[in-house]
């Protein structure tokens, strides 16, 4: 049955901060031009490593005092939300602020702040009287979404959604669901990450033999390549303005695409190792809910992180779902920016949405020797590929403890 305009969810604004671009235009250009955002990095206690770091102007929307009191994740979110609203042509009135919700996915929160506080009191023989009184609001689960509402005076609901590396997609799904429930009229939805600020994440991935290493930082993130050896930890964020179609049409908004289908499920099998059967089920359900068939999907942005086992499991699922789909092409954004954790799904979707206009699939870099176990038909490597048409994009996000979240965005047509 055809959906009514009030049952259709569209994307009308995008704000982002990525390791290789602080707005959609710069980010997309660098994806098409093979420019990586991975650099050499040194983190306290762990030492020298590699990371994807953002370089947005944090003072554009916050004072120095606000930056000191708040969090890096909150700052990323505030920047992205302001940019998304400006991109959507929205200057929220008080009544609109009451009907606006903020739904932000994140991998983990509070690790950076807790590590920093422990480091600070270590200078004073661990006397807790020197512990910051800002610690609690910095680390509660509803930060950074709460920081956004304070910064912009938004009085509608705000959630921060913990969904590991599927969180960026889940933020978008939650925003869409809140719109369909009628709880809000505007959803600011996506994901953010401040992960490089904590030494613990580097140490943990390293102890799993899952932290990427390479003499050339730009070549470290190499999903599908035979020599891949792990994850490049990155920060960043992407926030979308989501609206019901009727509202978007009334205000003559530019529409990037329609968030037409989604699914979130659980592997229920392992804390780390993905389950390709559950991943395939998640993709199939998202496609079905969008009213499409697998053969209707023209671009699949893969989740692949550069871990040997994880990439293979996802490719098994992709081959099962997209068998006999000659027009479906596959790419990977993490090869450019590393793994931005809770922001990954949202950032990767943002980087692919311009394909509706330029009919181009951005490529996967650093695949010098394709692992046969990761071979996919129409895997775009080496350089971008022009397509005759792009009508639907599927975006994969899979996380620890077996959480999977897949979104499908369609080219908008009335």
Active site residues: 165, 303, 339
> Is the Cβ–Cβ distance between 333 and 350 less than 8 Å?
no
> Is the Cβ–Cβ distance between 75 and 112 less than 8 Å?
no
DSSP character string of 350-364: HHHTTHHHH-EEPPB
Q: What is the largest CA-CA distance in the chain?
A: 67
Alpha carbon distance 402, 405 (integer Å): 10
Pairing verdict, β 233-234 and 47-52: parallel
- Which of these, 398, 376, 362, lies nearest to 20 by C-alpha position? 362
The pair of structure tokens assigned to 355 is: 């394909």
DSSP character string of 9-72: EEEEEEEEEBTTBSSHHHHHHHHHTT---EEEEEETTTEEEEEE-----GGGTS-HHHHHHS-H
CB atoms within 10 A of CB 58: 18
Alpha carbon distance 395, 341 (integer Å): 14
> Is the Cβ–Cβ distance between 331 and 361 less than 8 Å?
yes
Q: With DSSP H G I counted as helix, E B as strand and the rest as coil, what are the percentages for the chain, rounded to 5?
A: 40, 25, 35
> Is the Cβ–Cβ distance between 215 and 204 less than 8 Å?
no
The pair of structure tokens assigned to 149 is: 């509402």
* Residue 264 backbone phi and psi in degrees, to 5: -130, 125
Kindly list the distances between the CA atom of residue 33 and the CA atoms of 232, 263, 365, in Å, as whole numbers in the listed order: 20, 32, 10
The pair of structure tokens assigned to 207 is: 């102890």
Rg for the chain, CA atoms, rounded? 20
Q: Which residues of 90-246 form beta strands (DSSP E)? A: 100-106, 158-162, 186-193, 233-234, 236-244
């Amino acid at each position: 049955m055809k959906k009514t305009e009030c049952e259709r969810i569209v994307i009308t604004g995008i704000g982002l901060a990525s390791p290789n671009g602080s707005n959609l235009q710069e980010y997309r250009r660098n994806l098409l031009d093979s420019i990586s955002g991975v650099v050499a990095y040194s983190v306290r206690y762990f030492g020298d490593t590699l990371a994807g770091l953002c370089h947005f102007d944090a003072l554009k929307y916050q004072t120095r005092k606000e930056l000191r009191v708040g969090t890096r994740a909150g700052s990323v979110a505030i920047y992205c939300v302001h940019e998304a609203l400006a991109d959507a042509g929205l200057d929220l009135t008080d009544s609109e602020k009451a009907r606006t919700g903020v739904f932000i996915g994140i991998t983990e929160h509070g690790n950076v702040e807790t590590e920093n506080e422990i480091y600070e009191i270590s200078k004073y023989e661990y006397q807790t009287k020197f512990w910051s009184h800002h610690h609690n609001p910095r680390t509660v689960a509803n930060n950074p979404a709460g920081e956004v509402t304070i910064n912009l005076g938004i009085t509608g609901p705000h959630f921060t959604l913990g969904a590991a590396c599927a969180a960026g997609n889940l933020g978008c799904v939650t925003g869409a669901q809140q719109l369909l429930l009628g709880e809000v009229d505007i959803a600011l939805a996506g994901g953010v990450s401040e992960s490089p600020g904590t030494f613990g994440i580097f140490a943990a991935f390293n102890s799993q033999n899952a932290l990427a290493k390479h003499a050339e930082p730009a070549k470290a993130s190499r999903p599908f390549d035979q020599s891949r050896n792990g994850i490049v930890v990155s920060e960043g964020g992407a926030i979308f303005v989501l609206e019901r179609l009727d509202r978007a049409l009334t205000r003559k908004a530019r529409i990037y695409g329609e968030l037409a289908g989604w699914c979130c499920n659980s592997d229920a099998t392992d804390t780390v190792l993905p389950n390709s059967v559950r991943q395939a089920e998640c993709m199939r359900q998202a496609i079905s809910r969008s009213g499409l068939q697998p053969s209707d999907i023209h671009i699949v942005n893969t989740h692949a992180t550069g871990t040997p086992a994880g990439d293979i499991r996802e490719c098994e699922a992709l081959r099962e779902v997209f068998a006999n789909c000659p027009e479906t092409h596959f790419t990977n954004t993490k090869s450019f920016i590393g793994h931005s954790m809770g922001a990954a799904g949202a950032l990767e979707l943002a980087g692919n949405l311009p394909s509706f206009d330029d009919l181009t699939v951005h490529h996967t870099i650093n695949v010098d020797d394709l692992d046969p176990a990761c071979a996919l038909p129409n895997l775009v490597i080496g350089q971008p590929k022009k397509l005759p048409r792009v009508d639907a994009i599927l975006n994969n996000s899979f996380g620890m403890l077996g959480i999977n979240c897949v979104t499908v965005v369609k080219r908008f047509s009335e």
